[in-house]
Amino acid sequence: LVPMYGLKKGILFSLFHSISAFCNAGFDLFGDSLAPFYNNYYVSLIICFLVILGGLGFLVFLDIYETRNFKYLKLHSKVVIIFSIGLLIFGTIITLVLEWTNKDTIALMNFPQKILASFFQSTVTRTAGFYSVDIGKVHDATAFLYIILMFIGGSPASTAGGLKTTTFAILIFSTYFTLKGEKETVVFKRTISRQTVIRALTVVIVSLGVVIIVALTITIIETDRFKFLDILFETVSAFGTVGMSRGITSDLSTASKLIISFTMFTGRVGPATLAMG
């Protein structure tokens, strides 16, 4: 950024956006997030790398540092790494397919730029909140995909919010083994206790309850002013502490803004924690 903004401003901007990316904050000083850098592989990939690192969690960092071998990593670390990679690939491919012909997002880009933009959005949607394409102009199907990714979020003990990858993974594994007729959920030769499965299910139910109640309340308050998909997007973005919007935030009523603020607080502290408290 130094050639663009000069030495002092370039260094300060670099520092600010590096911290914002690693902490999954999504704040920017450019005025239009990372949209000006949609074709800048260097800046975009560094931001993605920092977002991914921040979203993995410090427990995973420590485990990797101590073992240096995937085979001997703890179950938590293995699940986090595998599901994080899987969600990144899934989000990239689906975004690429859904937005391929959308002239308002990636249709006019060349193939490498389309992949970069799709990968960038798949990465930052999980809780970072940056964007390199206009989120308000993506297809409804893509917006719904981002709602799912925002709801899942990052990993425990990380700078990311959301439901958490491990909670999502436990439900996926337990559902799979239940459908197979197995009594126990076994992952990487380790049994996940029934109590852990019930705790994960509790977090999901409470989280869904918060999102449904908040989205319904705002829909009632803002009757016929916004599309329901945009309100749901705003709600899940707040719950996952993502900070991404379809462009309706500034036009919400005071009551809706207060509800969104409470939803952010709930998502950051944890709905299960608040419910138990």
Residues 37-88: pLDDT tens digits?
Answer: 999 999 999 999 999 999 999 999 999 999 988 889 999 999 999 999 999 9
When pLDDT is cut at 50, 70 and 90, the band that residue 176 belongs to is very high
> In this structure, what token pair is assigned to residue 143?
């917006």
Helix axis angle, 75-99 relative to 111-124, nearest 10°?
130
Which value, to the nearest 10 degrees, does the dihedral of the CA atoms of residues 172, 175, 178, 180 take? -70
- pTM for this entry: 0.92
Question: Measured between alpha carbons, how far is 200 from 164 in angstroms, rounded to an integer?
Answer: 10
> In this structure, what token pair is assigned to residue 153?
């979020």
Q: What percent of the chain has pLDDT over 70?
A: 100
Q: Fill in the DSSP letter of residue 35.
A: G
Taking residues 7-29, report their average pLDDT: 95
Let me know if 53 is exposed, middle or buried by CB neighbors in 10 A (0-12, 13-18, 19+).
middle
Is it the case that residue 277 has pLDDT exceeding 80? no
**Amino acid 93: pLDDT:** 97
Is it the case that residue 135 has pLDDT exceeding 90? yes
Whether residue 125 contacts residue 211, with contact meaning beta carbons closer than 8 Å, is answered with no
Q: How far apart are the first and last CA of the chain?
A: 46
Whether residue 121 contacts residue 131, with contact meaning beta carbons closer than 8 Å, is answered with yes
**Amino acid 160: pLDDT:** 87
**Of 55, 25, 50, which Cα lies nearest the Cα of 163?**
55
- What is the three-class DSSP state of 190? strand
Is it the case that residue 276 has pLDDT exceeding 90? no
Is it the case that residue 7 has pLDDT exceeding 90? yes
Question: Measured between alpha carbons, how far is 133 from 146 in angstroms, rounded to an integer?
Answer: 13
Distances (CA, A) of 127 to 121, 201, 221, 227, 264: 11, 21, 26, 22, 12
**Of 77, 14, 8, 88, which Cα lies nearest the Cα of 46?**
14
Cβ partners under 8 Å of residue 72, min gap 6: none
> In this structure, what token pair is assigned to residue 269?
């502290």
Is it the case that residue 262 has pLDDT exceeding 80? yes
What number of CA atoms fall less than 13 Å from residue 42's CA on the CB side? 2
**185: enclosing H helix or E strand:** strand 185-187
β-bridge partners, 141: none
> In this structure, what token pair is assigned to residue 104?
């308002």
